Amino acid sequence: MGRSQETFSKKEKEKARDKKRKDKEKKKEERKANPTKGQSLATMLAYVDENGNLTHTPPDLQRKKEVSIDEIAISVSRQEKVAERTTREGVINSYTESKGYGFIKDAHSQQAIFFHKSGLIDKVHLDDKVSFQVENTPKGLSAFDIRKLS
């Protein structure tokens, strides 16, 4: 006697497909029974109460508060630029001369800052103390005007 061609997993997959199809048909019937298209505008509106919550009932006009236009502050707060140190100091953390880039560990923030050989003023090596300036690039901070400290 041969074994059945349908394995347990095949039967389970078939059951899952049938269940999914029946659920889809049930949802279709519910949509037909309760159509949302063509409803009046009043049923689709939502109102905001005095606490900022959405409700289905319109607000009570008797409780309405008058607000003068002068009390409303419409302005953009200006962020003042923080004056950063113009020249920073640090130590060359890594430098690959053949590839032309490396990283400086900032003495103040202990942050590794990228630099390219085009930003070098003096020739530098690993563990040299340097002074540099920082610019913000799309990829993050980048050091330039790098000078070796004696």
| Contacts with 143 (C-beta within 8 Å, 6 or more apart), sequence order | 88, 104, 113, 114, 115, 119, 132, 133, 134
pLDDT in tens, 67-118: 888 888 787 777 666 555 578 999 999 999 899 999 999 988 899 999 999 9
pTM above 0.85, yes or no: no
pLDDT at residue 76, rounded to an integer: 76
CATH dotted code for 88-148: 2.40.50.140
User: Which residue ranges make up each domain of the chain?
Assistant: 8-59, 88-148
